[in-house]
Copies of this chain bind each other. A is one copy, B any other.
C-alpha cells in the first residue's frame, strides 16, 4: 500500500540547510555562494559519501556502507516525489539532464509551468493547487510504491500539518549549526498543549550519521502526569521496604 514518506537530513539541532541570504531570498542561481550552502553541504555529506547516491548521479566511488543501503532502499521505494518550489529552483540546473529521482516529481508552486520531461524517468509537474493536491497526484503516479516528500522544510511541514505523512525518517548529522532553516518550526501549527506523536520503528547508527525512522501517529493533546507520585498510592511492581 502506498505510504507518504519523508527522508530528511538535518543537524542535531534540526537545521537542514544554512540561513537564507537576506539580501537575496528568492533568486536561487547564486545559492552556492550564499549562506545556505555550507550548512546544507554539511548535513548531506553522508549522502555524497554513499555509493548509492554516487551511482545515481553518475559519479564513481563512494562507500558501500549501511548508509548506502538505506539510500538505495529510499530511492527504490519511491514511485513519485513531492517537492517544494525553492528546492526545485536550487536543483534544476545542478541536477542536469538526468536528475537522480528517476520518477515523477510534483513541485508545489504558485507559478504555472509546463511539465518538464527529463532523461532516466524523471519528470517535473508543477502543481499550483497546494501540497494536498500534489500528494494526491503523486499517489496516482506512484502505483504501488511510496510517495516521498523530497523537501524542503516548508512542504514537509505542510504535509505533516495536513495529516498526510505516514512515515518520517530523519538522518541526523553529528553537528550543531546554531542557525539556519529548521526542518520543524511553528509552521506545524501546534499550540503549547498539542504535539504530533511518533513511534520510532528503526534506529540505525551509520558511519557519520544516525538514521531514525518514525511512524507518524498523529496530532494529540499533551498531558501532565503526576511524576510518579501515584505509584506510591496505587501499589507497585517493585516491593516496598
Contact = CB atoms under 8 A, between A and B. Distances in A.
B178 A199 contact: no
**Interface size class of chain A, counting residues whose CB lies under 8 Å from the partner chain:** 35 or more
B225 A192 contact: no
A59 B235 CA distance: 10
Contacts of A172: 212
B237 A61 contact: yes
A84 interface: no
B210 A200 contact: yes
Nearest to A37: B224
A51 B227 contact: no
A212 B210 contact: yes
A13 interface: yes
A61 B238 contact: yes
Nearest to A241: B60
A77 to B, nearest CB: 21
A25 to B, nearest CB: 14
A197 B39 CA distance: 12
Interface in A170-207: 170, 172, 174-180, 182-186, 188-200, 203-205
Contacts of A198: 12, 174-176
Contact of A238 (B13, B51, B203): B51
Contacts of A94: 227
B179 A192 contact: yes
Interface stretch (A40-48, A128-136, A142-150): A40-48
Given A193-B38, A203-B205, A212-B210, A60 B238 contact: yes
Nearest to A193: B38
B174 A178 contact: no
13 contacts: A14-B14, A14-B184, A35-B193, A37-B224, A41-B222, A41-B223, A59-B227, A62-B238, A174-B199, A175-B195, A176-B198, A177-B222, A179-B191
Interface of A: 11-14, 18-19, 32, 35-39, 41-42, 45, 48, 51, 53-54, 57-62, 94, 160, 170, 172, 174-180, 182-186, 188-200, 203-205, 210, 212, 214, 222-225, 227-229, 231-232, 235-238, 240
